[in-house]
Chains A and B, each alone.
Chain A
Amino acid sequence: MAILDNYSPLKKKEAIFGWKLVSPTVILISLLILYPVFYNIYLSFFDVSLSLGENNKFVGFSNYINILKDITFWRSFGITLLFTFITVVGSILLGLGVALLMNKKFFGRTLVRSLLLLPYVTPLIAIVFSWKYVLLPIDGPLTKFLTLFGFSSGMDIINDPNNSFIVVSIFNIWRNFPFIYLMILSKLQSINDDYYEAAEIDGANSWQKFLHITLPELYFVIGSVALLRGIWNFYKFDEVYLMSKFANTLPIYIYEKAFTGIPQQGVAAAIATLLFLFMMSLIGIYVKKVLKW
């Protein structure tokens, strides 16, 4: 503890006590987060063998080189970026709109506010099966309803592999907008009414009030939820996979590489490492430029 040499005995004791307090957390984080991260990076340099009795073979950077040459990887990467962009923007717009509405006083507001949270709090598997049932061709309730307006009862919107991207994007926006709505609503309620009264005295209309008071007040909330949803949606696997296996986003691609057909776990680890580096850099820039931390 040479670093503590310049400290007074009391400061030394405090510092040591501080380390004792945080050490369980440090150990836990190391075990649960750092170890898997470093093990994944380690695996990315190997041809991981699934055959019994055969050891993993060190292959250097060849997994990385192969990925960067793989057109399917780049296609999946592009799809994932688009998916993240569409779902984050979509759920923020929807969440913002609903939050503004729910900030107005009306009869039964508490009940409506609670109901709006249902897509987010209901177990995912139940929602996925409900969507699939509602949109069943011929027998699905929504399909039956749509036939009244001239739609074909034989269309199978949700299971058509060509619709995968659209279906999973709409589903993700619908499922996750309540989270954003909740964050924005809590901020909306804390904006001082004096600002709006002052603006009204100055003759500002509703749009001007929204643009010059509400939006700047919401800037950091929207910025933070955009960051969180961006990270979550970039790595989103469960919703996408349960709705459609054809969405071709990167987490699905990693899953296929790691576990289906001929598993290539070294390659999957390399993809995960690349994504980790990409996301860390992106988050760094975002935090500095957008959130101005």
Chain B
Amino acid sequence: MKKFYLLIMIFVLSISVMAELTFWTTETESNRQTRIKALATIYEAQTGIKVNVVPIEENDLMTQIPVAKNSGTLPDILEAGIEPLLLLASENFMDKDLNTKIVDSFGDIYPGAKKLLSDADGSSFAVPFHAWVQGLWYRKDWFEPRDLGNPYSWHNILTAAKALNDPAKGVYGIIIPKKANAFTQQVFTEIALANGARPMDAQGNLLFDSKEMIESFRFYKELGKYSKPGYTDVLDALKGYLSGETAMTFYSTYIMDDIAVEEVQKSRIDKFDADLVVHTGFANKMINIRPTSYGQMVGIGILNTSKDKSNSEDFIKFLMSPKNYVYWLHMAPGGMNPTRSSIAESDEFLDNPILQRYGKEKMAEIVAALNEVERFEFIDGKVLTDMSKLDANFVIGKAINYMFANDWSPQQTAAWAQTEAKRVLGK
């Protein structure tokens, strides 16, 4: 009998030693990694299943996937933005059945959030995990004395950029991105959608050279006149706003802790402006001929190649259970917003010094905007995988980069983007 128990023990031990999950996450910052690893440790203590947390930069994800596929080291679970998830789903990497089962099991995922990670037939290629909204952050205290209104419309944005631009004093009307990367594409997306412009229609026809797109490039270039010189990027936008170098900047809700918390602000710039949070306004939508909002959904999903699907499902449910979910979301308060309505409305989620500074009402407004978020990859309930391929090649970012570098006209920029998009898609 003793031998039997010993065998059982060895069996259980060997199972627990062998059980291991690999989790790729695009949250690469060290403080976020600390929290994720803490959650993995708690999970291991509760279940005996080890979770290997692998941080991967979002821009490097599409480079790593083919390498991992060839070497047989794809993860069990992946957390990433819509574009890579969409591409991976189109190549049959995502386990749609299992991910849909998880989404349905929660029952309280926001419909807008669910839609952004779903196929036309409603099956989810990943579980909506958390989300942010992009908009214009602006100095209310600079706008009000000049009666500039709120920077929601193209007209108001341009008027304010002109009025508040004072390079001699080291102050710029706005800071817009001009590098060939994802941030430039994000900002341009909001501008173009506000003008009813899309680079691709529902049938997959390329529309870079449409009248609306050319107008959008023109507006972007015009804003560039009142923007900080140089090929500015995401860090220029952040630091520029925090240091009072600009009146307006495009940024996601990830900026909220930088604006409100002394330690975070001081890690970016030398001085801390305690009043910045009071003097800051946020335009969460834009309008020229139609209103639009831009945001990013981050999904978490199980891959078809996962060697342990049952435990992978269990781990995702563990991460999205109330206590653990709030712990995860609070690693970037304001930036990471819940996709489960029960969590968004809970006191536990709002029990955070930063979220409290913005208030329950503002937070509700931000989270609700997720239902209205628009993106180029989705049109009339249809997913355009070709658009994700253009995103992965930074076609829009490159077009804008070249527009400023070569002083191209909006027409030249649109023509270049049209040709480049055809080349990328092999059309």
Contacts and interface: CB of A to CB of B under 8 A. Distances in A.
A102 B179 CA distance: 42
Interface string A153-177: 1111001111000000000000000
A265 B304 CA distance: 22
Contacts of A24: none
B63 A259 contact: yes
A260 B92 contact: no
A137 B179 contact: no
Interface in A243-275: 245-246, 258-263, 265
Contacts of A260: 62-63, 392-393
B92 A53 contact: yes
B180 A259 contact: no
Interface stretch (B98-106, B186-194, B401-409): B401-409
Interface residues of B, number: 28
Given A136-B230, A160-B231, A50 B405 contact: no
A129 B228 CA distance: 20
B231 A52 contact: no
A169 to B, nearest CB: 18
A261 B389 CA distance: 5
A159 B230 CA distance: 8
A51 B66 contact: no
Nearest to A54: B92
A39 B401 CA distance: 38
B132 interface: no
Nearest to A157: B230
B93 interface: yes
B35 interface: no
B67 interface: yes
Nearest to B167: A154
Nearest to A52: B92
A138 interface: yes
Interface in A139-193: 153-156, 159-162
A154 B92 CA distance: 47
A52 B66 contact: no
A81 B340 CA distance: 56
22 contacts: A50-B91, A51-B91, A52-B91, A52-B304, A137-B229, A138-B170, A138-B228, A138-B229, A138-B230, A154-B229, A154-B230, A156-B229, A160-B405, A161-B402, A162-B405, A245-B180, A259-B62, A259-B63, A259-B67, A261-B389, A261-B424, A265-B66
Interface of A: 50-53, 136-138, 153-156, 159-162, 245-246, 258-263, 265
Given A161-B401, A258-B66, 19 more contacts: A50-B69, A51-B91, A136-B230, A137-B230, A138-B170, A153-B229, A154-B230, A155-B230, A156-B229, A160-B231, A160-B405, A162-B405, A162-B406, A245-B180, A259-B67, A260-B62, A260-B392, A260-B393, A263-B62
